[in-house]
Chain A
Amino acid sequence: MEKRFMTGNEAIAEAAVQAGCRYFFGYPITPQSELPEYLARRLPEVGGCFLQAESEIAAIYMVFGAAGAGARVLTSSSSPGISLKQEGISYIAGAWLPCVIVNIMRGGPGLGGIQPSQSDYFQATKGGGHGDYRLVVLAPSTVQEAVNLTMEAFDLADKYRTPVMILGDGYLGQMMEPVEFKKRKQQSLPPKDWTLTGAKGRPRRIIKTLYLQPEILEQRNLTLNRRYQEIIKDEIRAETYLTEDAEVIIAAFGTVARIAKSAIRILREKGIKAGLVRPITLFPFPYQTFAQISDKIKKILVVEMNLGQMVEDVKLGVCGKAEVFFYGRTGGMVPSYDEIVVEVEKIVKEP
Chain B
Amino acid sequence: MEKVFGRPKSLLAVRTHYCPGCGHGIIHRLLAEVMDELGIRERTVGVAPVGCSVLIYNYIDCDMYEAAHGRAPAIATGCKRVHPELTVFTYQGDGDLAAIGTAEVVHAAARGEQITTIFVNNAVYGMTGGQMAPTTLVGQKTTTSPFGRSAKHSGYPIRMSELLATLEGAAYIARVSVHTPKHILQAKKAIKKAFETQIKGLGFSLVEVLSQCPTIWGLSSKESLDWVEKKMMPYYPLGEFKVPKEEKV
Contacts and interface: CB of A to CB of B under 8 A. Distances in A.
Given A51-B81, A62-B81, A73-B78, A87 B68 contact: yes
Contact of A58 (B43, B79, B103): B103
B75 interface: yes
A209 B54 CA distance: 11
A contact residues, range: 35 or more
Contacts of A55: 103
B42 interface: yes
Interface stretch (A64-72, A216-224, A227-235, A317-325): A64-72
B106 to A, nearest CB: 8
A91 B72 CA distance: 12
B77 interface: yes
Interface in A29-84: 49, 51, 53-55, 57-59, 61-71, 73
B163 to A, nearest CB: 15
A197 B83 CA distance: 7
Interface string A180-203: 000000000000000011111100
A209 B81 contact: no
* Residue among B57, B61, B63, B106 with most chain A CB within 10 A: B63
A207 B62 contact: no
Nearest to A212: B55
B57 A65 contact: no
Interface in B143-171: none
A226 interface: no
Contact of B65 (A23, A59, A68, A87): A68
Contact of B66 (A62, A67, A70, A207): A207
B71 A209 contact: no
A208 B86 CA distance: 20
B97 interface: no
Contacts of B43: 198, 200
A88 interface: yes
Contacts of A197: 45, 63, 83, 86
A25 interface: yes
Given A66-B81, A196-B79, A204-B61, A210 B74 contact: no
B76 interface: yes
Q: Which 4 residue pairs are nearest across A and B when measured between Cβ atoms?
A: A65-B78, A61-B74, A208-B66, A66-B78
12 contacts: A23-B82, A53-B107, A57-B71, A57-B104, A58-B71, A67-B78, A68-B65, A71-B82, A88-B71, A197-B83, A197-B86, A207-B66
Interface of B: 41-45, 47-48, 54, 57, 61-68, 71, 74-83, 86, 103-104, 106-107
Interface of A: 23, 25, 49, 51, 53-55, 57-59, 61-71, 73, 87-88, 91, 196-201, 204-210
